[in-house]
Amino acid sequence: MNPEFKRNLWLEISPARLALMPGVLTLIALLAVAISEHNPRDNLFIACTVLFTGLTVGWGSLLVMSSINNEVTERTWDQQRLSALTPWQMAWGKLFGSTAYAWYGALLCAVVAVLAASTLPGFLSRCVWMLAGAIGAVALHAWLMASRLHTLDLRTEKSSSTAGRLFGLFMALQTLPMVFMVLRSPTDEPQASGGWWSLGLPLPVQSLVLAALMLALGLLALWRSMGKQLMVRSTPWAWALGVLAVGWMLAGFMPEDARDANLMVPLAGVALLATYAALFTESNNRLVWQAVLFHHAHSPRRRMLQALPLWPVSWAMAALFVLLYGVLGINPDQHLASLGSVMWLALLHCLRDCGIYHFFALRNTTRKPAGMTLLTLFVLGVVLPGLVAGTAPELATWFEPLFGLQQLVKGGGSLGLAPWLAMAVQLAVVAALVAWRWAAGAKPAQTS
């Protein structure tokens, strides 16, 4: 048996707890049946479904996050990292071991829910929804643990915990629609089908497929994040594959007549979002880039890719998708004729933001650059344009090039020249500042 899984079972499971869980759940089930006036089986099914969701999405998510946070707080995480377990063994041992007790109660609820629904309308549909919910819960746990490991900084116990909590809240909110779909009567829309990639799958089956895909991506993210913590080097292929997969999944919800023409739009959008996510959650200080430059000059290409931060990978993918969108040029919608220009402007805007971040990240200090970066972006994008918007609206574009989109909103056929000139000037200034910061930080090393 996996040693990490066995250790977590030893911590989570005891005879007293094994007896306590079914006792409490039985009392709640009896209460649900007792207050039912017309259909006790339906009430029992709803009660067990709500309990299943609370145990997996609620309690299970807390246990997953605590499995990492507690070890960091108790100073035992370093011992875990020195173990002989592979990243995958450590990942699934923690993923299923830390939530074993929550899943014990959830599976009891699932069994009772299935038995209660056996004589209700839409039995198969309810079962598929329950299965999709179970797979989705495991996917949620995998994503939460992966996000916590990705943002983990061993120098402080509170390292990037806010980012992990926000991501956990976001992922938990995504499960609410599935809860409502399970609770509704499956006979309300017997012929309802999803529109994902025009497959015409029934909604329960479509949700099951999407949950399985999210689980696969979550396990991939967990494996990569765990490998990073265990000092197992890997190239960014998993990150690139994840960006492609998420973009492809979102593209499946686009209207069929616009999907072929605009497939690159969701791919580029997801890649840009991934660029920002990697930028603000990874370390991009001077030591990181010195390692990249060293391996580029003295090591095989693979070693350089292993040291490379993830945001350049995402940005390069976004640039490729924007380029392909322009080369293909098959957008039939005349109202979106300027979409290619908007995508290029957004791509350059993202590059500018990355440069601003690195201007603060390359300082010889332990302070994190995210705060100053966000403040700078707020001043450039909101404060300064707002000051000149009343007296000289045309100057707002020079502080925030995206204000050039007003030309399209007003019915113009193009962005005009001002946004491009403003973006070129800002990129040049940011590049000069980053180069100056890099050179200034290298001077002490040269004189010592």
Quick one: pLDDT at residue 120? 86
CB contact set of 328 (below 8 Å; sequence gap of 6+) = 264
Three-state SS at 176: helix
pLDDT, mean over the chain: 86
pLDDT band per the 50, 70, 90 thresholds, residue 110? very high
Residue entry with tokens 């919800």:
253
Note the pLDDT tens digit of each residue in 15-61. Answer: 999 999 999 999 999 998 898 777 888 889 999 999 999 999 989 99
Quick one: pLDDT at residue 365? 79
Quick one: pLDDT at residue 391? 81
Residue entry with tokens 């999405």:
57
Q: For the chain, give the percent of residues with pLDDT over 90.
A: 56
- Contact of 66 with 201, CB cutoff 8 Å: no
Of 414 and 99, the structure prediction assigns the larger pLDDT to: 99
Burial of 163 (0-12, 13-18, 19+ CB in 10 A): middle
Note the pLDDT tens digit of each residue in 285-316. Answer: 999 999 999 999 999 999 999 999 999 999 99
CB contact set of 71 (below 8 Å; sequence gap of 6+) = 77, 80
Of 96 and 334, the structure prediction assigns the larger pLDDT to: 96
Quick one: pLDDT at residue 364? 82
Note the pLDDT tens digit of each residue in 145-158. Answer: 999 899 886 444 44
- Of 51, 54, 6, 42, nearest to 121 by C-alpha is 42
For 42-54, give the DSSP string.
HHHHHHHHHHHHI
Residues in a beta bridge with 193: 202
Quick one: pLDDT at residue 245? 96
Query: What is the rounded distance in angstroms from the CA atom of residue 141 to the CA atom of residue 25?
Result: 23
Quick one: pLDDT at residue 162? 54
Quick one: pLDDT at residue 210? 93
Of 323 and 447, the structure prediction assigns the larger pLDDT to: 323
Quick one: pLDDT at residue 215? 95
Note the pLDDT tens digit of each residue in 400-446. Answer: 998 888 777 776 667 888 999 999 999 999 999 999 999 987 765 44
pLDDT band per the 50, 70, 90 thresholds, residue 389? confident
Residue 333 has pLDDT above 70, yes or no: no
Quick one: pLDDT at residue 338? 79
| Residues shown for the chain | 448
Query: What is the rounded distance in angstroms from the CA atom of residue 342 to the CA atom of residue 353?
Result: 16
